[in-house]
Amino acid sequence: MSIDENINVEMPSMKSLFIEMYFNETLLSSGTAILVADDRESHCTLITNRHNVTGKNQDTGKHLSKTLSEPNYIIIHFHKNNTNKSEWKKVKLPLYREDGTPFWIEHPTFKEKADIVALNLKWGNDIIKYPYYLKTNLDRVNMAITPAETISVIGFPFGLSSYMKFPIWATGFLAQELSLVSKENPIFLIDCRTRQGQSGSAVIAYRPSGFRKYEGNKVISELSPSKTWEFLGIYSGRINSESDLGKVWHVSAIEELYQEATNEYKKRESAKEKPNKALERNI
């Protein structure tokens, strides 16, 4: 996709968003987020890791920042609605209501145990949305992927970017069979040299030409000159600091979380609540 005259960027790079977590004026950490929607006409919501917004280790509950602070807002770097330049618009999003309850939406079944959350925003015309579509073949082609095949984690390790606020692709391998993913355990493992800052990154299988796909009970080869990818889930972190094995929340869990966020949005709309001016502040 052409952004500036001399820049060509793959569409998955457009879909990863750089985020920063703050406590008041203190930057605590940085990470990655994505947008998801069913299709082009559907509600769009932001997805990232729960530990990004809580500021705590998901397993131990310990603070991630040396200051022992927890974020009370995040800044999201959206693509600015300007097709002539590579520009980003920073949106400041409070994480808590005035009564102390969080704005984020948790997984309907796993609740606080799931390291994924959704945030509904009031969208303006000053940004461009590049979501992963859950119900179309733009990001999900029913690709057949087996252990040892390559996958990519697209985000911002250590807060770094490839250029401006375009993400870095870290490529590794699927470390297990995806058929072992279940509704009760929607997590799978990858073998990839990932680091902090990539939490919340999209994990995809990217194929520049040709791929295998499921067609009924069969696996067939699809010969195509087009670049193709399969959205697999959201990266959540390594199993421990000494391993390159990382955890990914499967797309099936993202679908359930997205539906919960959509229900919350519809409920708010049907109640005709006035938009909360504190929900979004542009800077």
Q: Check residue 34 and give its pLDDT.
A: 98
Q: Check residue 282 and give its pLDDT.
A: 46
- Distance between CA atoms of residues 1 and 62, nearest Å: 41
Model confidence pLDDT, tens digit, residues 50-85: 999 999 999 899 999 999 999 999 999 999 987 666
Is 200 domain-assigned?
yes
Residues 27 and 68 placed together within one structural domain of the fold:
yes
Helix (H) or strand (E) segment spanning residue 50: helix 50-54
Is 3 domain-assigned?
no
Residues 243 and 268 placed together within one structural domain of the fold:
no
Residues 51 and 154 placed together within one structural domain of the fold:
no
Q: Check residue 160 and give its pLDDT.
A: 96
Is 244 domain-assigned?
yes
Beta-sheet pairing, 150-155 with 168-174: antiparallel
Q: Check residue 283 and give its pLDDT.
A: 40
Q: Which parts of the chain register pLDDT below 50?
A: 2, 275-278, 281-283
Is 4 domain-assigned?
no
CB 19 within 8 A of CB 74: yes
CB 210 within 8 A of CB 173: no
Q: Check residue 5 and give its pLDDT.
A: 58
Is 1 domain-assigned?
no
> Rounded to two decimals, what is the model's pTM?
0.91
DSSP one-letter string for 47-100: EE-HHHHH-B-TTT--BSSTT----SEEEEEEEES-TTS--EEEEEEESB-TTS
Domain of 23, in residue numbers: 11-132+256-282
Is 128 domain-assigned?
yes
CB 258 within 8 A of CB 131: no
